Structure 1
Amino acid sequence: MRLVLRRIREFNMKWRLMVYFFTASLLAVACVWVAFQYYRDQLTRGDVQLGVFAAIVCAGQVVGYIAAKWMQRKIDLLHVAIIELSKGNFTNRIPIEPNDPFQQIFSEYNRMARSLGDRMQLLQKLGGDKALAEYASTEAAVMEERRRLARDLHDTVSQELFAMHMSASSLPKVLERNPDAAAGLMDQLIRMSHHAQKQMRGLIAQLRPIELHDKSLQEALDMWFPEYCRTNELQGQLDVNVNGELPEAMEQQLFLIIQESMANIVKHASATQVTLQLQDHGHQYVLLVLDNGKGFAKSDLPSASHGLSTMRERAQKLGGDVEIVSRIGSGTTVRVRIPKFPDNETERTNE
């Protein structure tokens, strides 16, 4: 029996389906033979004819179910693999059983996935090298200019705004004789000065560069993220879980994407809470930036993309993509997926 089953597996799909149909035909013939052998005198009765017909149909359905279940399992394997590939999992492979009729199809898929993975890995490396070259040629001058602007703003405008706030706070004592006329103006000045000071702190924080030199991405985020949230009156939650070291170019691009996302939250979201997560899923890195802000409708995304194109370009340099999910009143989620490739791909089985 095992030898017969092994021979059946060696058939290609066409012959295997023919075996199933042949089996169904044999069962149908067997049902008819049994009917003639034991119920020959009763075949003129309608209930006996109906029973024979039902037996033939049931036999065909059983064989058809077995054939469909076998084929559906193979198709599901291919379907799941295609979904994983579309999500950026270039390391997933379909296991191949010996003498499987789908062996050639699965082998071609595995070769295609490996080829796409190799090309995407090369694209990621080229994009990273290009990003590092662009960064080296322009970032030094930009960072120096930001330092100068931060010092100038801190020494001049920020101190003036603080003096305005102190003067406005002391205004009630000066204008005690006419509180009805001065009360509204006093509150307005206090609110304006406080708001201007808050905005200036945020601007200074953005202008001060956070350099990744001699720091990992997690170390830089541990320094920058809490301070940024505190400056902009946000409750922040940071969760970074990455195995091993990230490539330098990837760290630079991810950090710039995070900065752009956080700046958009401060400018547009009116949020009070933000969560930043960077997870290693084995086959890809996933960056999530979630806020509890006012959100926006999907139809408004093209006209108010809030730097989406810039973030997408940075992700695409590394072979990844950016997805933004938002609903009015339900906050916004920025999801960035970057493929992860092993240093040495040694698993060539099933290909």
Structure 2
Amino acid sequence: MRGLIRNSKREWAFYSGCATLVMMALVYIGWTRTHGNLPDVQWWTGWAAGLLLVDVAVAYLLGKRAERRIDQLQLAMKQAASNQGSVRLPELKADAFSETYLDFNRLMERQDANMKLLRAFGEQQVLEEAPTQEEAVLEERRRLARDLHDTVSQQLFALHMASSSLPKLMELAPEQGRQVMQQLIVMSSSAQKQMRGLIAQLRPMELQGRSLAEALDRWFPDYCRQNGLQGTLDLQENLKLSEAMEYQLFLIIQEAMANVVKHAEAKDVRLALGETNSQISLQIEDDGSGFRAEQIRTGAYGLSTMRERAQKLGGDAEILTKPGSGTRVRVWFPKI
């Protein structure tokens, strides 16, 4: 676009110069017909050259002014395309771009109105779905109880049986006893890993009677401690979030943290929640093993669920990762 603007400025200067030459020719013809004699040639040439330079300079300045107007419009369009809040252009008076600026502002006003309707509808839907989701949580806990019985409980029983016979075995066959001890270590490690995975799937009702910040202050450190993580919590003060947005954000955070426990093999995790002039932003970053980008598309890492929750309120989510470089989950909502 800048190349087009530069070419346009040259064209305006060229055509303006041509118009000046035509005007000078007409003046020349008119002067000779009415006065007969011309003024001094040097005077005439100097006057004509000065007029031509002034005309070209004026045309260039007008082109520069148009370039600034187009740059301003282009920047506003980029901001609007990246959901950077309510973008508006200044109102212009008696300007070639005034109608275009006005049309852009009208378009953004309609977009903001539509976004507010979408947000209101999404929040109402979330609040209406909350009782159903609580029932789903209860059902999920019943499923976890069955999983505990089928996996960890049976492994603990096997550990108990093997460890009970170990003292006698060490007396009669020490070498075989040491092998059993190694098996016990492997079995206990497996049971611990499965237990952590099941704990990661729990969805405690931490938001009841609390704001999101209060719930995270209570839940996040406990969750990290229970799962062997060093957690850092960075919450911006005085965040103003609707009830529906707090609910969705908390579920997204739980989903992302469960992924850290189950897949990341991380030691440190950082959760940051804040806002800018245009967005509410959530980031969860770990120092784990990471994974290949194509694995995200399989749905194993919960991106579709997190994105669906964010999109209910006009936002979106993404996972940034690569093998050996940790993982970052980013969720954002436009401010309206």
Q: TM-score scaled to structure 2, two decimals?
A: 0.75
The separation in 2 between residues aligned to 1:244 and 1:318, in whole angstroms, is: 17
Q: Is the 8 A contact 2:230 2:267 kept in 1?
A: yes
Distance in 2 (CA, whole Å) between partners of 1:72 and 1:172 is: 87
Which of residues 217, 220, 227 in structure 1 aligns to 2:212? Answer: 217
Q: Deviations over 1:11-67 (max 9, x none)?
A: xxxxx99986666558889xxxxxx738x9xxxxxxxxxxxx9x9999898667544
Which of residues 85, 94, 98 is equivalent to 2:89?
94
Q: CA deviation at 1:120?
A: 0.7
In structure 2, the CA distance between the partners of 1:299 and 1:197, relative to structure 1 (3 Å rule), is: closer
1:159-183 superposed Cα distances (whole Å, 9 cap, x missing partner)? 7766766765994895266444443
Deviations 1:112-143 (A, max 9, x none): 1111011111101101111111112x133234
Q: 2:75 matched to 1:70?
A: no
Matches within 5 A, 1:194-273: 194-204=189-199, 206-241=201-236, 243-273=238-268
3-state SS, counterpart of residue 94 of structure 1: coil
Identity %: 43
Q: Is the 8 A contact 1:158 1:200 kept in 2?
A: yes
CA contact (8 A) 1:202 1:231 kept: no
Shift of the alpha carbon at 1:90? 3.4
Q: Is the 8 A contact 1:93 1:110 kept in 2?
A: yes
For the pair 1:37 / 2:31, whether they are aligned, the reply is no
Matched, 1:141 2:135: yes
Partner of 1:186: 181
Residue among 302, 306, 311 paired with 1:311: 306
Quickly say closer, same or farther: Cα 1:65–1:148, change in 2 above 3 A. same
The answer as to whether partners of 2:17 and 2:52 remain within 8 angstroms in 1 is no
Deviation at 1:149, TM superposition (A): 6.2
Match in the other structure for 2:323: 328
**Which stretches in structure 1 are left out of the alignment for 5+ residues?**
1-15, 30-35, 41-52, 342-351
Q: 1:80 to 1:323 in 2, by over 3 A?
A: farther
Distance 1:288 1:61, change over 3 A: farther
Q: Provide the secondary structure at the position in 2 that maps to 1:84.
A: helix
Q: AA paired with 1:206?
A: Q
- Per-residue deviation at 1:236? 1.6
2:124 is the counterpart of 1:129: yes
Pair 1:280 & 2:275 matched: yes
Do the aligned residues in 1 keep the contact of 2:267 with 2:287 (CA within 8 Å)? Answer: yes
Alignment match, 1:118: 113
What's the secondary structure of 2:73's corresponding residue?
helix
Distance in 2 of aligned mates of 1:315 and 1:77: 31
The separation in 2 between residues aligned to 1:169 and 1:82, in whole angstroms, is: 72
Kept in 1: contact 2:282–2:331 (CA 8 A):
yes
Q: Is the 8 A contact 2:197 2:258 kept in 1?
A: no
Tell me which moved more, 116-125 or 207-216. 207-216
C-alpha spacing 1:117/1:172, structure 2 compared with 1 (3 Å):
farther
In the alignment, the residues of structure 1 paired with residue 53 and residue 295 of structure 2 have an alpha-carbon distance, to the nearest angstrom, of: 56
How far apart, CA to CA, are the structure 1 residues paired with 2:152 and 2:298?
A: 33
Aligned to 1:110, what secondary structure does the other structure show?
helix
* 2:289 alignment partner in structure 1: 294
For 2:86 and 2:193, the matched residues in 1 are separated by 47
CA RMSD of aligned residues (A): 4.1
2-structure distance, mates of 1:169, 1:68: 91
C-alpha distance in 2, partners of 1:309/1:176?
A: 56
* TM-score using structure 1 length: 0.72
Shift of 1:203: 1.3
What's the secondary structure of 1:175's corresponding residue? Answer: helix
CA distance in 2 between counterparts of 1:93 and 1:201 reads 50
Distance change in 2, residues 1:76/1:201 (3 Å): same
Change over 3 Å in CA distance of 1:66–1:192 after alignment to 2? farther
Aligned to 2:3: none
Q: How many Å apart are 1:324 and its aligned residue?
A: 2.2
| C-alpha spacing 1:99/1:263, structure 2 compared with 1 (3 Å) | same
